Amino acid sequence: METGIIFESYNLNGLELNNRIVMAPMTRSRSANPSNVATELTALYYKQRSSAGLIITEGTFISKEAVGVVNVPGIYSDEQIQGWKLTTDAVHREGGKIFAQLWHTGAYSHPDFHNGEKPLAPSAVNPEQQIFTVQGFKPSEAPQPMSIDDITRTVADFKQAAINAFEADFDGVEIHGANGYLLQQFFSKNSNQRTDNYGGSVENRVRILFDILDELQQVVDLRKVAVRLNPSLNGIMGILVDDETIEVYDYIVNRLNDYGLAYIHLIEPFTDVSAIPDAIQEVAKHFRKIYKGTIIINRAFTRETANQVLSDGDANLVSFGVPFIANPDLVERFRTQTILNQPDQATFYTPGEKGYTDYPTLDTNK
């Protein structure tokens, strides 16, 4: 029987986690209904994986304006709140804990999702991506730069989405500030070419995140709010590492110390950034020196490397993505050192149960 720090319990601001293994947020495009509502199938998927110390849901859209991917659930309507309650109830019945990730895709969207109107983003910078629409993949277009009213409304949408998430009985919320979506589009000089209070200086470019947190603080317990960041993202979604990248993220993380959050969720580099002098090579080590609270670290960890990063003290929890797709009982497989199921990439974003809720567990193999 495997032992290690990943199997130890963890107190997350009063929320007791059974282990330090976190299920990372992953879009699966299974909410195939016109209202973007999480379904019974969604609930079963998360229930199967509730042995994780913490589950973080796929990104859930905070508003209609936030939509950028087909068949993904939202959390901006009463119907969507009720849909998500199916999931939170199912996970809680199994003794699990679950946070909702609050998502706005910004420029990573398409007019097809917005009645022919351009998606909203900080500036008119095309991320040059293929967007998954109802009619298949289509190339992204230059977005509509957000007015101050648009920004104010978006901040309010994050606030309402957090309220809705707690009404749906989530244990907390994670604000998606990573992977090249709206908030990271504001942070990056390449995608933010504004000259007002939301552009130019480091403080201005990150202002929207702290506007959101300041608004959330009025209505929810920030000890149950988290932020996800991807400091070394480069060449993906129109985001580039530049000469201010380290300054931007050091500033953000230093300020986050003042908010008493549940955690920050950091991602090690997606790509090889060893030749980029301004890129943070070891994200967890870098920010462990700055951040006083809980750190979740993510990016292609194994059981062994997860135990190592926790033992080194560089993070408190480790999140796993793809391994959870094919291994609903990942925690038990790690514990017993059992071989992992291999995921079927062809079914990552397809409708139905296949490749979603039909992977075998150790129990089904008995």
CA atoms of 25 and 204, how far apart (whole Å): 28
* Nearest CA-CA partner of 126 in 148, 113, 111: 111
Torsion of CA 244, 248, 250, 252, to 10 degrees: 180
Q: How far is CA 59 from CA 20, 306, 320, 328, in A?
A: 21, 24, 15, 19
Catalytic residue among 181, 249, 259, 359: 181
CA atoms of 123 and 142, how far apart (whole Å): 8
* Helices 148-167, 78-93: crossing angle, 10 deg rounding: 40
Instruction: Give the sign of the dihedral formed by CA 17, CA 21, CA 22, CA 23.
Output: negative
Q: Decide the pairing of beta strands 317-320 and 21-23.
A: parallel
Helix, strand, coil fractions of the chain, as percent rounded to 5: 35, 15, 50
Q: CA geometry: angle at 247 spanning 246 and 252, to 5°? A: 100
Q: Which two tokens stand for residue 11?
A: 């107190």
Are 98 and 136 in contact, with CB atoms under 8 Å apart? no
Phi-psi region for residue 20, left (φ > 0), alpha (ψ -120 to 50) or beta? alpha
Residue 361 three-state SS: coil
Q: Which two tokens stand for residue 325?
A: 């797709």
First CA to last CA distance, the chain = 18
Residue 173 three-state SS: strand
Q: Which two tokens stand for residue 208?
A: 């929207």
181 is known as an active-site residue: yes
Residues with catalytic roles: 181
